[in-house]
């Protein structure tokens, strides 16, 4: 065997070994919904989770222990590990859906359907592995597009699994593995950390940083849970307490991860309460603010960060003005019954890329749809949070860069023009570099949205417009999860796969996927021209 | 007082000279024999060769009996260690020269006073203070505040527009109706004249005044100056001094700073908000023109190179910049500053030495006036002093001394011939350097 292919095999062995580690975490994670299933006496679901857990743990253990890899992950590997890791998580994460769909007898599944409703259990859709993969990818990437047409009918266990998947997917598996597994050297850890997250180091070591992230993240989730339980009990005192607690836990997890899966059939609209919708605005916004921001506020007590932090300020201002504009547009079109209620909730849901839906977006006029696509879903919340989209900081950077460029015409050519951005002072070459990477990313991002919109336009059903196609594509790419109705178990498989790829790319900010494809096609040898 | 000075560099040398004039017991420590030789030869002061951080050396100079220890070597760490060690050994008051601004900015976190340093001084920071002071009064070539700002010493250049040209001082008394200022010295062609009534004022003279606060504007009018304010400031050189000046003044002026080292430029640009940093060589005339340096109100040249500073200042003066300030390394140049044609020269070691001298020392010599062979002295009139017995014009001073002004019960007066001194009056006396001893005898 020649040296080159030997090297390539080594690289793949290393990739698989890393992925094995992630699988082990996933396998253990499944024990939580297993317990929930048992609590709700959903024994077929519990069995399904047990089998899935064993399969995933077995594979993970095999990969992790038996592959002898001497190669430490390098920069070029880190991104490929992230891309492949997330794909493997989404694929393995689909196993419980398929197994439970097959082993649950039809009459048992039908018992999940709430009393008084007369539709077949949505669990049966997951017999199609593609649907299961879609649901799983949507869950782990915190998107929230769903194949479960009627959510309550898939059982509490699976509902909880979906929400938990969003919670874990939001913070990131690699961050989790860095926090609790001590396998990598600190250099490798730093590389892996940077591949998945914003890369901002909060504590001196990566491990401490990863732990801080998880502490803050879980703390916020806990806060939202209590907030929602109390809020729901006050607003809807007649709602059964057990259901309130179950819904609140699930919704807190999906809000913090800006995932947007719901345990109700009509998402938050299922409460039929204006106050409940107002109540749910806060957890969404909390989820869209960056973890480093919380770190500064909670650990370092810098309260001024609420105004000083560029991104936090951006998110808050965008929520206020965007909601206002969307309300105006909806009010003008006269399509929806309550423009303020739907305008505000949908804008915040879209900007934070949560994706809870309270309005029939498919029926909106084109200008409202284009506004929510361009002005919310494509932008997204703060980098360093669990949101998708281009991220508000890149938009702010590009705007700043524009002003910087215009201003530079008024200075002498020898001047060193420093820009204040995000509480840092950037030299011309630094801002140029930042701008180049932000602009490249934005361009590729938009390109992907448009290509996918074209594919959608080809394969979508009757009665949808190009605006709907654009909306659905932006929703998948931005891991938002709002739907104009195109996403449905009856959709074309081509479209379904397109969206799976988009969600995967959207979570990881595209580049890791390109690196992975490059590694697969050409190996990890550098190109020298 | 017993004063120990560690470091015989420019600051140490200059301080030794200042203190020596006052007959203090001074010992200078340095590990460079040549420098010590200069001190011994020129000033006749006792020197010790060795490292000032050494315990043995400090014991040898009997640091425990020292009233003051001044550590002014070029090395910050040496100064800090010397000061702390001396304090622990029993020196009463310690001063350390530093170059790192951190110590001055963040006094709370690391309190060097607790460690045993009573005063920290940074030449760069003090120079910035001097520049700030100069730019506040751009018309003055020299200004010095006396007695908590109650009196001011002002130096002005007499140019074409002055109404007093070719008049004797006696002829111009109508311009000073309230007696709120007095001319104390005239510098003409390298010579210092203590003025009398019949002395004639010529174009090109540098006049030195002592004025009360009310008299400041009158002095400007006397010399025909129209008051100007500085808005735009051009700084050449991004050395520590330049950075400090820009950082300190950016809240008052629009500042552009030119520096030729690109890496320094970047560092400055990152650390100095509100200051426009330009990369370029200050000796390149084309660049200065590109940066429209003629449109600036003031030009401060603080590169490491004295010649560059002087040259660019002259050029700036030529293009119409109202106020030029040049930093020079060589203190000797100060004696020629008035003939060079630059408004003001500054030197950071001088700034440091003057600061130490002024702030530590109570009473006595305020400052040397460079270019002048005269000095301003401050005395408190003693109980049994001879001067209280006569009015001023009858006191038999040397002809070359002027009692300029008096502070009595917190009020400042310009002292004229028929003024009678009382004990406890604080007087400001202007005298030629060679007469200091004689004058001292009068007041005690």
Q: Is the pLDDT reported for residue A253 higher than 80?
A: yes
Listed residue (B187, B186, B157, B176) closest to B216, CA to CA: B176
- Name the average pLDDT for chain A: 88
Same domain, B234 and B256: yes
Structure tokens at A76: 């070029």
Identify all chain A residues contacting B291, using CB atoms and an 8 Å cutoff: 412, 414
The interface residues of chain B toward chain A in range 283-302, judged by CB-CB distance below 8 A, are 287, 290-291
Is A412 in Cβ contact with B269 (below 8 Å)? no
How many CB atoms are closer than 10 A to CB B420? 14
3-state helix, strand, coil in chain B (%, to 5): 35, 25, 35
Is A416 in Cβ contact with B279 (below 8 Å)? yes
Of these ranges, A415-424, A467-476, A511-520, the one predicted with the greatest mean pLDDT is A467-476
Residue B127 in any domain: the answer is no
For A142-158, letters b (16+ CB in 10 Å) and e give bbbbbbbbbbbbbbbbb
Residue B126 in any domain: the answer is no
Question: In angstroms, rounded to a whole number, what is the distance separating the alpha carbons of residues A101 and A127?
Answer: 5
The sign of the dihedral angle between the CA atoms of A205, A208, A214, A217 is: negative
Structure tokens at A125: 């859709």
pLDDT tens digit sequence for B344-356 = 888 887 788 777 7
Per the CB < 8 A criterion, the answer to whether A130 and A497 are in contact is: yes
Residue B45 in any domain: the answer is yes
pLDDT tens digit sequence for B225-250 = 887 888 999 999 988 889 888 988 88
| Inter-helix orientation angle A428-459/A392-408, to 10° | 130
Return the DSSP state at B177: T
Between residues A174 and B129, the one the model is more confident about: B129
Is B276 in Cβ contact with A415 (below 8 Å)? yes
Identify all chain A residues contacting B267, using CB atoms and an 8 Å cutoff: none
Identify all chain B residues contacting A413, using CB atoms and an 8 Å cutoff: 290
pLDDT tens digit sequence for B83-137 = 999 998 988 888 898 877 666 666 666 677 778 888 888 888 888 888 888 888 8
B400 pLDDT band, cuts 50/70/90, is low
Same domain, B244 and B267: yes
Listed residue (A522, A526, A527) closest to A8, CA to CA: A522
Between residues A178 and B162, the one the model is more confident about: B162
Please indicate if any CB of chain B lies within 8 Å of the CB of A68: no
Q: Which residue of chain A has the CA closest to B271?
A: A425
Structure tokens at A454: 């074209």
Is A416 in Cβ contact with B277 (below 8 Å)? yes
Listed residue (B378, B428, B417, B411) closest to B395, CA to CA: B417
A187 pLDDT band, cuts 50/70/90, is low
Same domain, B211 and B157: yes
Burial of A4 (0-12, 13-18, 19+ CB in 10 A): exposed
Using DSSP, state whether A145 is helix, strand or coil. Answer: coil
Listed residue (A517, A524, A485, A489) closest to A501, CA to CA: A517
Per the CB < 8 A criterion, the answer to whether B225 and B206 are in contact is: no
Same domain, B234 and B336: yes
CATH code of the domain containing B90:
3.40.50.720
Question: In angstroms, rounded to a whole number, what is the distance separating the alpha carbons of residues B245 and A224?
Answer: 52
A182-A183-A187-A189 Cα dihedral, nearest 10 degrees: -70
Q: Is the pLDDT reported for residue B365 higher than 50?
A: no
**Cα B181 → chain centroid:** 21
Domain total for chain B? 4
Between residues A131 and B318, the one the model is more confident about: A131
Enclosing H/E stretch for A15: helix A3-29
The pLDDT, as a whole number, for residue B338 is 61
B337 pLDDT band, cuts 50/70/90, is low
Identify all chain A residues contacting B271, using CB atoms and an 8 Å cutoff: 425
How many CB atoms are closer than 10 A to CB A414? 15
B153 pLDDT band, cuts 50/70/90, is confident
The interface residues of chain A toward chain B in range 422-461, judged by CB-CB distance below 8 A, are 425, 427
Question: In angstroms, rounded to a whole number, what is the distance separating the alpha carbons of residues B5 and B203?
Answer: 43
Segment B158-173 mean pLDDT: 83
Is B273 in Cβ contact with A414 (below 8 Å)? no
Question: In angstroms, rounded to a whole number, what is the distance separating the alpha carbons of residues A16 and A88?
Answer: 10
Q: Is the pLDDT reported for residue B218 higher than 70?
A: yes
Question: In angstroms, rounded to a whole number, what is the distance separating the alpha carbons of residues A233 and A237?
Answer: 5
Question: In angstroms, rounded to a whole number, what is the distance separating the alpha carbons of residues A132 and A130?
Answer: 5
Between residues A75 and A50, the one the model is more confident about: A50
Residue A355 region by backbone torsions, left for phi larger than 0, else alpha for psi between -120 and 50, else beta: left
B406 pLDDT band, cuts 50/70/90, is confident
**Cα B177 → chain centroid:** 31
Q: Is the pLDDT reported for residue B372 higher than 70?
A: no
Write down the ipTM of this complex: 0.70
Residue B310 in any domain: the answer is yes
Segment A293-298 mean pLDDT: 89
Inter-CA distances, A116 with A113, A146, A269, B294, Å: 8, 23, 18, 87
Enclosing H/E stretch for B363: none
Give the one of A411, A415, A425 whose C-beta lies nearest to B270's C-beta: A425
A7 pLDDT band, cuts 50/70/90, is low
Question: In angstroms, rounded to a whole number, what is the distance separating the alpha carbons of residues A138 and A260?
Answer: 10
Structure tokens at B72: 């002014």
A186 pLDDT band, cuts 50/70/90, is low
Name the domain boundary from B293, B327, B351: B351
Listed residue (A375, A369, A370, A401) closest to A389, CA to CA: A375
Residue B361 in any domain: the answer is yes
The pLDDT, as a whole number, for residue B360 is 61
Per the CB < 8 A criterion, the answer to whether A166 and A139 are in contact is: yes
For A289-320, letters b (16+ CB in 10 Å) and e give bbbbbbbbbeeeeeeebeeebbbbbbbbebbe
Q: What's the domain range around B28?
A: 2-121
Q: Is the pLDDT reported for residue A46 higher than 90?
A: yes
Q: Which residue of chain B has the CA closest to A430?
A: B266
Question: In angstroms, rounded to a whole number, what is the distance separating the alpha carbons of residues A145 and A483?
Answer: 7
Structure tokens at A94: 């689909």
CATH code of the domain containing B357:
3.30.70.1450
The pLDDT, as a whole number, for residue A100 is 95
Between residues A418 and A225, the one the model is more confident about: A225
Same domain, B190 and B238: no
Segment A492-515 mean pLDDT: 91
Q: Is the pLDDT reported for residue B369 higher than 80?
A: no
Segment B194-207 mean pLDDT: 83
Inter-CA distances, B59 with B28, B45, B64, Å: 14, 19, 8
Residue B311 in any domain: the answer is yes
Is B273 in Cβ contact with A416 (below 8 Å)? no
Structure tokens at A45: 């679901």
Give this prediction's pTM: 0.79
Same domain, B173 and B216: yes
Between residues A232 and B341, the one the model is more confident about: A232
The pLDDT, as a whole number, for residue B363 is 45
Structure tokens at A92: 């393995």
Identify all chain A residues contacting B269, using CB atoms and an 8 Å cutoff: 416-418, 425, 427
The pLDDT, as a whole number, for residue A502 is 95
Same domain, B250 and B317: yes
Per the CB < 8 A criterion, the answer to whether A148 and A135 are in contact is: yes
Same domain, B113 and B172: no
Q: Is the pLDDT reported for residue A182 higher than 60?
A: no
β-strand pairing of B2-6 with B344-346 = unpaired
Please indicate if any CB of chain B lies within 8 Å of the CB of A418: yes
- Name the average pLDDT for chain B: 82
Inter-CA distances, B272 with B99, B246, B249, Å: 18, 8, 11
The pLDDT, as a whole number, for residue A383 is 84
B373 pLDDT band, cuts 50/70/90, is low
Same domain, B139 and B99: no
Structure tokens at A446: 């938009």
Name the domain boundary from B69, B93, B121: B121
A1 pLDDT band, cuts 50/70/90, is very low
Name the domain boundary from B94, B121, B148: B121
Question: In angstroms, rounded to a whole number, what is the distance separating the alpha carbons of residues B86 and B89?
Answer: 5
Same domain, B305 and B324: yes
Same domain, B38 and B80: yes
Residue B165 in any domain: the answer is yes
| Inter-helix orientation angle A493-508/A428-459, to 10° | 170
Structure tokens at A119: 């539709």
The pLDDT, as a whole number, for residue A196 is 62
Using DSSP, state whether B147 is helix, strand or coil. Answer: coil
pLDDT tens digit sequence for A117-169 = 788 889 999 999 999 999 999 999 999 999 988 888 999 999 999 999 999 99
Question: In angstroms, rounded to a whole number, what is the distance separating the alpha carbons of residues A478 and A377?
Answer: 6
Question: In angstroms, rounded to a whole number, what is the distance separating the alpha carbons of residues A512 and A196?
Answer: 9
Least confident window among A175-184, A287-296, B18-27, B284-293: A175-184
Q: Is the pLDDT reported for residue A110 higher than 80?
A: yes
Same domain, B175 and B193: yes
What is the edge-to-edge ordering of all strands in the sheet holding B68-71? B46-49, B25-30, B2-6, B68-71, B93-97, B119-121
Closest Cα in chain A, distance from residue B272 (Å): 9
The pLDDT, as a whole number, for residue A185 is 59
Q: Is the pLDDT reported for residue B258 higher than 70?
A: yes
């Amino acid at each position: 065997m020649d040296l080159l292919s030997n090297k390539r095999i080594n690289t793949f062995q290393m990739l698989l070994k890393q992925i094995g580690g992630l699988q082990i975490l996933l396998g253990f994670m499944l024990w939580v919904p297993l317990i929930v299933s048992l609590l709700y006496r959903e024994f077929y679901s519990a069995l399904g989770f047990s089998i899935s857990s064993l399969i995933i743990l077995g594979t993970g253990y095999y990969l992790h222990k038996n592959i002898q890899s001497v190669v430490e992950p390098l920069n070029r590997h880190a991104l490929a590990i992230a891309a492949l890791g997330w794909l493997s998580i989404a694929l393995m994460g689909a196993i419980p859906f398929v197994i439970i769909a097959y082993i649950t007898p039809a009459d048992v599944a039908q018992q999940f359907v709430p009393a008084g409703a007369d539709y077949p259990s949505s669990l049966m859709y997951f017999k199609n592995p593609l649907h299961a993969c879609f649901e799983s990818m949507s869950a782990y990437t915190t998107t929230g597009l769903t194949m479960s047409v009627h959510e309550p009918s898939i059982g509490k266990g699976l509902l909880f699994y979906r929400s938990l998947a969003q919670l874990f997917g939001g913070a990131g598996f690699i961050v989790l593995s860095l926090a609790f597994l001590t396998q990598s050297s600190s250099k490798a850890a730093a590389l892996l950390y940077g591949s998945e997250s914003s890369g901002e180091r909060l504590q001196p070591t990566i491990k401490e940083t990863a732990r801080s992230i998880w502490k803050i993240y879980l703390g916020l989730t806990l806060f939202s849970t209590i907030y929602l339980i109390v809020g729901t009990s006050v607003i809807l005192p007649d709602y059964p307490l057990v259901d309130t607690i179950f819904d609140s836990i699930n919704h807190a997890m999906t809000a913090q991860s800006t995932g947007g899966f719901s345990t109700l059939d009509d998402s938050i609209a299922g409460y039929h309460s204006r106050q409940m919708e107002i109540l749910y605005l806060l957890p969404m916004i909390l989820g869209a603010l960056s973890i480093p921001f919380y770190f500064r506020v909670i650990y370092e007590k810098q309260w001024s960060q609420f105004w000083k932090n560029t991104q936090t300020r951006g998110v808050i201002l965008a929520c206020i003005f965007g909601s206002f504009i969307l309300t105006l547009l909806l009010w003008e079109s006269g399509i929806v019954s309550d423009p303020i209620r739907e305008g505000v909730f949908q804008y915040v849901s879209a900007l934070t890329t949560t994706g809870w839906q309270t309005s029939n977006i498919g029926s909106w006029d084109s200008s409202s749809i284009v506004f929510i696509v361009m002005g919310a879903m494509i932008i997204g919340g703060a980098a360093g949070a669990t949101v998708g989209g281009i991220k508000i900081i890149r938009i702010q950077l590009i705007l700043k860069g524009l002003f910087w460029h215009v201003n530079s015409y008024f200075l002498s050519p020898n001047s060193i023009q420093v820009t204040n951005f995000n509480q840092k002072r950037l030299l011309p070459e630094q801002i140029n570099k930042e701008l180049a990477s932000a602009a490249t990313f934005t361009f590729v991002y938009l390109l992907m949205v448009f290509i996918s919109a074209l594919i959608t336009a080809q394969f979508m059903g009757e009665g949808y417009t190009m605006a709907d196609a654009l909306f659905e594509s932006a929703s998948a790419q931005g891991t938002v999860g709002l739907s104009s109705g195109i996403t449905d178990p009856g959709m074309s498989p081509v479209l379904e796969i397109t969206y799976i790829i988009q969600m995967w790319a959207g979570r990881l900010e595209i580049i890791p996927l390109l690196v992975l494809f490059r590694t697969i096609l050409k190996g990890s040898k550098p190109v020298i021209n | 007082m017993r004063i120990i000075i560690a470091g015989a560099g420019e600051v140490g040398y200059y301080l030794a000279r200042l203190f020596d004039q006052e007959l203090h017991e001074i010992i200078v420590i340095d590990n460079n024999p040549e420098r010590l030789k200069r001190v011994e030869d020129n000033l006749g002061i006792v020197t010790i060769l060795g490292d000032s951080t050494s315990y043995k050396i400090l014991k040898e100079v009997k640091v425990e009996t020292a009233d003051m220890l001044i550590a002014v070597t070029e090395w910050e760490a040496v100064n800090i260690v010397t000061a702390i060690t001396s304090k622990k050994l029993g020196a009463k008051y310690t001063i350390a020269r530093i170059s790192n601004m951190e110590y001055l900015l963040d006094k709370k976190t690391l309190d060097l006073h607790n460690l045993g340093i009573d005063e920290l001084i940074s030449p760069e920071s003090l120079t910035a203070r001097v520049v700030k002071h100069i730019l506040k009064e751009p018309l003055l070539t020299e200004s010095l505040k006396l007695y908590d700002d109650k009196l001011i010493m002002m130096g002005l250049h007499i140019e074409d527009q002055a109404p007093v040209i070719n008049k004797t001082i006696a002829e111009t008394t109508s311009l000073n109706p309230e007696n709120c200022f007095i001319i104390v010295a005239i510098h003409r062609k390298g010579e210092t004249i203590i003025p009398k009534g019949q002395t004639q004022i010529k174009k090109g003279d540098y006049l030195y005044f002592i004025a009360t606060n009310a008299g400041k504007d009158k002095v400007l009018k006397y010399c025909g100056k129209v008051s100007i304010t500085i808005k735009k400031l051009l700084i050449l050189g991004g050395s520590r001094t330049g950075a400090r000046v820009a950082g300190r003044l950016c809240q008052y002026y629009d500042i552009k700073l030119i520096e030729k080292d690109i890496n320094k430029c970047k560092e400055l640009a990152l650390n100095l908000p509100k200051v426009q940093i330009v990369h370029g060589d200050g000796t390149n005339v084309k660049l200065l023109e590109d940066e429209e340096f003629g449109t600036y109100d003031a030009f401060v040249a603080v590169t490491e190179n004295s010649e560059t500073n002087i040259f660019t200042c002259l050029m700036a003066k030529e293009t119409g910049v109202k106020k030029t300030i040049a930093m020079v390394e060589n203190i000797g140049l100060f004696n020629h500053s008035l003939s060079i044609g630059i408004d003001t020269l500054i030197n950071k070691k001088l700034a440091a030495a003057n600061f130490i001298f002024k702030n530590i020392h109570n009473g006595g010599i305020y400052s040397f006036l460079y270019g002048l062979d005269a000095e301003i002295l401050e005395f408190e009139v003693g109980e049994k002093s001879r001067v209280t017995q006569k009015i001023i014009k009858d006191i038999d001073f040397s002809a070359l001394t002027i009692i300029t002004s008096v502070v009595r019960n917190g009020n400042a007066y310009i002292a004229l011939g028929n003024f009678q001194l009382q004990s406890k009056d604080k007087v400001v006396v202007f005298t030629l350097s060679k007469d200091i001893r004689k004058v001292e005898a009068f007041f005690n």
